Chain A
Amino acid sequence: MTPSKHLSENHLRGLEKLGDALVPGDKELPSFSKLKCVGEADRILDHMPASDLKDLKFLLSLLAVFPQFLVLVFIWVLELGSKIPGPLGAQLRFIRIGVRGLVMSLYYSDPRVHSILGYSVSIYTKDLS
């Protein structure tokens, strides 16, 4: 695994498990772990507030030792629990947004995924000095 300034091997393992639960891959799209996009995590984590990074590391440490089916259960809890009102629902919504933000950013910023989706954009600049 590509080393990270912020995450240990264990954290990165947790992140790959999380990623595979959210984006498991199919015939066309690779799974999160097959894309090997965790190597780009520092591009996000460099700008993450310190308290959020600390919480993230704790979560990834836990997920690293979870079997994959428990990671899936965790995701289901976030999906269903984030719909409930009150402080518990608020906490689950925070975690859900944070977890999805990290995984979806890493996965859907990859040029190989863009190519499969058909996402190609540019701004004409040839006339500029």
Chain B
Amino acid sequence: MYDFAIVGSGVSGGRVAYELTKGGAKCLLLEAGREFGKNTFPKNEMDYSTQLFWGGGLEVTTGGNIGLLRAKCLGGTSIVNQALLDRFDDLAWSDWRAASHIAFFNANTMADHYDASAKKLKIGSIPVEYYNKNAMVFTRACNKLGYNWSPLQRAQADCRLDQGSDCIVCLGGCPRDSKQSSLVTTIRWAREAGLEVRSEFEVVSISPSESEVRVQGYQGGDQTEVIARQVVLAAGALGNTGILLRSGLKSRLPALGKRFACHPQYMSYAVFDEPIDAHKGAFQSVKSDDKKMRAQGFKLENVFAPPIGTAMLMPGFGQKHMKLMKKYRYLASMEVAIRDDASGVITLGSNGKLKVQKPLTASDREKTERGLATVRELFAAAGAKEVISCTQAFGLHLMGGCSIGVDGAHSVVDPEFRVHGYKNIFIADSSIFPGAPGINPSFTIMALSHRASQEMLQSKSRSLGVAP
């Protein structure tokens, strides 16, 4: 029997798998998606959108107001994200302490876990000489208007920007293994230490008992079951919540499915007279780092999108739409990401499919308007000829649904990362977030998973009657 079955292979699943396997546990990692590698990632935007994401590319909230992007492949979101490593600030920690009543949510305690998580990763920022014109528009406009910005800390090894690499390609997986995804870091290290991996295994539900957890799902279309002493759910806000709901645990976990947040993001494009070529070179180098924006509940991202993404986001259709698309090389873009209220609710529909209700609150709408106004102000300062604010919101940071806290009536996971009332079900990924931090979550998911792994190893030792 496995000591641990780990469901989901993204930032949390990979980290937990590595720490537990390194600690001597016999682990099985289950992933619903396929395993790709640097030579086999889908080669273009259409194919990677359909093959690397749930829902064939995009899922949508029940109101149709927010598109949700959720990776489905070995390595999870760490394959398709930008490997940004931001630590939480004091505001994020204090808000989490207030929401969860958990004392270890503070910068000092968590610093150890951030440091431990970063230890074997290659981390750096893009050198200024490799900023592309989209980044230059961003930084110059911020400088002109007095907004602070800073270089992004990125988990990347060797992008060869000197040889003209265009990092927008890596939105569909990095062909150089430069991006420090869990696939090429924690999962690789864990495999070397004995981790077993089964991809294309979609977990549907779990059945916990006193001595074991049965994990039920489908592999290759066949119904399959795996038995482990303990299970770690690392399938994200939607995945974990769905598994626990299908397992019939809602009646014992009243907070299950609540507090969903997703940092809704809104892209704005600006047309310039000269080519910007935002798709070329280093893709995302800098971020807003401004106290006023933070206080107002939004941040700005220096990003861009390939042609399909841009066409989807650009409003309208027909000749007007095509006219804008033909200016693709002349477009710069910025994205507003808001620190949204955790007002979303995840439930199961009658057909067994997940339903995500995520109405934006008045406060969310106000933050969005302020952010978009700031972007318009920045683009005007940069000399843009036209600014297009896209109305379609999308969420990349899916958080909550299994929030952490001391009180089982208002949270799902306890401070030792166990599901309330179940000693052998652990969760440490973004689904436990008690609120939206307004900061890129990856690094904190790693840190939480590192801390949780210590609890899990102690739990394993206790169950075997030996000292940890």
Contacts and interface: CB of A to CB of B under 8 A. Distances in A.
A127 B163 CA distance: 10
B317 A21 contact: yes
16 contacts: A24-B318, A29-B322, A44-B50, A49-B56, A75-B317, A96-B64, A97-B60, A105-B57, A113-B307, A118-B277, A119-B307, A121-B306, A123-B166, A123-B174, A125-B176, A127-B163
Interface string A109-127: 1000110111101111111
A122 B307 contact: no
Nearest to A91: B64
Contact of A108 (B163, B275, B308): B308
Interface in B292-331: 306-308, 310-312, 316-319, 321-323, 325-326, 328-329
Interface string A29-59: 1000000000010011011110110000000
A12 interface: no
B46 A43 contact: yes
A22 B321 contact: yes
Given A24-B319, A51-B351, A119 B312 contact: no
B317 A79 contact: yes
A48 B316 contact: no
B45 interface: yes
A72 to B, nearest CB: 8
Interface string B138-172: 00000000000000000000001001111111100
A29 B313 CA distance: 19
Interface string B321-343: 11101101100000000000000
B58 interface: yes
Contact of A28 (B47, B317, B326, B328): B326
Contacts of B60: 93-94, 97
B280 interface: yes
Nearest to A116: B326
A122 B326 contact: no
Contacts of A25: 322
Given A119-B279, A119-B306, A122-B164, A109 B44 contact: yes
A93 B65 contact: yes
Contact of A90 (B46, B56, B63, B308): B63
A97 B64 contact: yes
Interface of B: 38, 44-47, 49-51, 55-58, 60, 62-65, 67, 160, 163-170, 174-176, 275, 277, 279-280, 306-308, 310-312, 316-319, 321-323, 325-326, 328-329, 351, 353, 392
B328 to A, nearest CB: 4
Contact of A119 (B63, B167, B318, B328): B328
B272 to A, nearest CB: 14
Given A93-B64, A119-B328, A108 B311 contact: yes
Given A109-B46, A123-B170, A97 B67 contact: yes
A119 B329 CA distance: 8
- Among A43, A90, A93, A121, the most chain B Cβ lie within 10 Å of the Cβ of A121
A94 B329 contact: no
A49 B55 contact: yes
Contacts of A126: 163
Nearest to B52: A47
Nearest to B59: A49
A92 B306 CA distance: 25
> When A and B form their complex, which 3 residue pairs have the shortest distance between CB atoms, in order from nearest?
A93-B64, A124-B163, A109-B46
Contacts of B316: 79
Contacts of B353: 51
A51 B310 CA distance: 27
A46 B47 CA distance: 11
A106 interface: yes
Contacts of A48: 50, 56
A44 to B, nearest CB: 5
Contact of B64 (A90, A105, A116, A119): A90
A90 B66 CA distance: 10
- Among B46, B58, B170, the most chain A Cβ lie within 10 Å of the Cβ of B46
Contacts of B49: 105
Contact of B325 (A52, A117, A121, A127): A117
Contacts of B275: 118
